[in-house]
Amino acid sequence: MPLSSLDCRFQMLAAPLPMQRAVMTREQWQAAPAAVVEAGGRLVSLWGSDRRGLEGGFAVHAAYALAEGLVWLSLPIPAVQPSYPDIARVFPGAGRMQRACRDLIGLVAEEATDQRPWLRHGSWPENYFPLRRENTGLASFAATPENYPFVMVEGDGVHEIAVGPVHAGIIEPGHFRFSVVGERTLRLEQHLGYKHKGIEKLFERTPPLEGYRLAGRVSGDTTVAYGWAYCMALESLAGCEISWRARWLRALLLERERVANHLGDLGALGNDAALGFGLAQFSRLKEDWLRLNRELFGHRFMMDRIVPGGVALDLDAAGGERVRRQCDMIEAEVRMLQGIYEEHSGLQDRFLTTGRVSPRLAGQLGLCGMAGRASAQASDLRMDFAWEPYAALQATMVTHRNGDAAARVTVRFEEIFESLRLIRETIARLPQGATRTELNPLPADGIGAGWVEGWRGDVLVTLELEAGSIRRCHCHDPSWQNWPLLEHAVMDNIVPDFPIINKSFNLSYSGQDL
């Protein structure tokens, strides 16, 4: 164990993927980030919880990804002084997570360089913390808008362009402040949080067996991954093994979700580079894909199809044959469109070298998921660990080194082809058996975790039960890691290329803002 030098007692969590948890001292918490870096690991998430009544105070948690699996570290914090050592000096991506933790539960990262609010937006008082036990989440406050202290860039010819939070298209709200000279971007600063919906508080009023429905609505384009991660956490708490057929069907749904999103993004990227033909063709293919989802699985996005103990569907031979035929058709058309994209000089001129994130910078700042793999970050939970059905399917990871918009487009194309192969293999080798297993009784108190490779990257759900109810459920989207990298990717690019760079990442507002 790479963190053995910290001298912690690790508790193994019962889950398909290797996960373990340890409660740490303050000194161990401070030493952990450097130990993770030395072991080649990365930060997955940071969040807080109110443990008053159980352990005498609060707790801050950090989840790290290592070669051996996920490590969930917890630091108890006294109620009289709710603060903890900053880890953003080692993992810069933790900065925004720490700011959100301050807004939601009042835990302060000591000596953090950025203490500005992140989620609050003047929607509740500065001394009110929604995730504390005494707050029901039902209180209402008069909005008190505040001027967010953006970082100013000064110099001859420097001016600002403010974009959002309300946009011209049908997209979610987020504010982007560009500092530019002419059309060249010197700096981009984001301000998000406009989609905060109080999901983590709502979990406290949701029965554990119904929580998968709420998790599946964290980010609608990732509903399968979130639903699976929540169910994995719940099943680990119950000590439940789901059937082989249910595991393979879950993987089939996850890959169909991946294909749908990549199809949509490839069309939108073509459109942002003035190739309306690409948008029309990929939109048509995505619509056909979603319609078959509706016919076979009951929902275009397959929402609520993954349930505790398995899946809420089955697939007969006729349905499997329809899926297989569609995969063949989609692959033929996407390969033709890939040739058009690669041979279109105007498109390639807009994609190549645009929004580049070097492998070195990606590693330093924790770029993950699909965007990370386009910058040589070889991490994908489907292949990193020998878990079913991906081990049996011999799933292959797609990576690239250039780290520009063109690389992210290439990764999308290649991941579509690999997902189509996985879907066909799943149909051909789908095990017999039940699609749902009745869960063992849940413990009154306990912890569980689920970790799934969604189409953007790894989705984490951690679950804490107390007296049979959800005390804390934290859902983490990979967009937390990748939004800050978008700020770097835009530097030295012209302003008109921002839509291409932004869409080449296609990060979630809703999944991050919760």
> What digits encode the pLDDT tens for the residues 291-325?
999 999 999 999 999 999 999 999 999 999 999 99
Any idea which residue has 């001129």 for tokens?
Answer: 349
pLDDT score at 16: 84
pLDDT at 200 over 50: yes
Percent of the chain having pLDDT more than 70? 98
Interval 470-499 mean pLDDT: 95
Mean model confidence pLDDT for the chain: 93
Among 467, 427, 424, smallest CA distance to 446 is for 467
Kindly write down the DSSP assignment for every residue of 80-148, as one continuous string. TS-EEE--TTT-TTHHHHHHHHHHHH--EEET-S----SS-TTSS-TT--TTSTT--S-----------
Q: Which two tokens stand for residue 271?
A: 């459109």
pLDDT score at 122: 87
> What digits encode the pLDDT tens for the residues 57-87?
899 999 999 999 999 999 999 988 899 999 9
450, 233 contact by CB (below 8 A): yes
pLDDT at 165 over 50: yes
d(CA 494, CA 510): 27
Burial state string for 269-279 with b = 16 or more CB within 10 A and e = fewer than 16: bbbbbebeebb
State the span(s) of the chain assigned CATH 3.30.460.80.
Answer: 4-110
Interval 108-130 mean pLDDT: 91
pLDDT at 41 over 60: yes
pLDDT score at 84: 95
pTM of this structure: 0.95
Across 108-117, 167-176, 252-261, least confident range: 167-176
Angle at 395 between CA 394 and CA 400, to 5 degrees: 135
Quick one: pLDDT band at residue 168, thresholds 50, 70, 90? confident
Does residue 98 or residue 164 have the better pLDDT?
Answer: 98
Interval 477-490 mean pLDDT: 96
Q: What is the dihedral of CA 136, 60, 372, 148, to 10 degrees?
A: 60
Interval 186-200 mean pLDDT: 94
Q: Quick check: helix, strand or coil at residue 393?
A: helix
pLDDT score at 98: 97
Q: Is 205-478 a domain of CATH 3.20.20.70?
A: no
State the span(s) of the chain assigned CATH 1.10.645.10.
Answer: 205-478
365, 484 contact by CB (below 8 A): yes
Tallying the residues shown for the chain, one arrives at 514
pLDDT score at 12: 80
Q: Which two tokens stand for residue 165?
A: 């939070």
Burial state string for 155-176 with b = 16 or more CB within 10 A and e = fewer than 16: eeeeeeeebbbeeeeeebebbb
CATH number of 4-110: 3.30.460.80
Interval 181-189 mean pLDDT: 93
> What digits encode the pLDDT tens for the residues 376-429?
999 999 999 978 899 999 999 999 999 999 999 999 999 999 999 999 999 999
Pairing of strands 310-311, 446-453: unpaired
> What digits encode the pLDDT tens for the residues 438-479?
999 999 999 999 999 999 999 999 999 999 999 999 999 999
As to burial, measured by CB atoms within 10 angstroms (0-12 exposed, 13-18 middle, 19+ buried), residue 241 is: middle
pLDDT at 199 over 90: yes
Quick one: pLDDT band at residue 1, thresholds 50, 70, 90? very low
250, 238 contact by CB (below 8 A): no
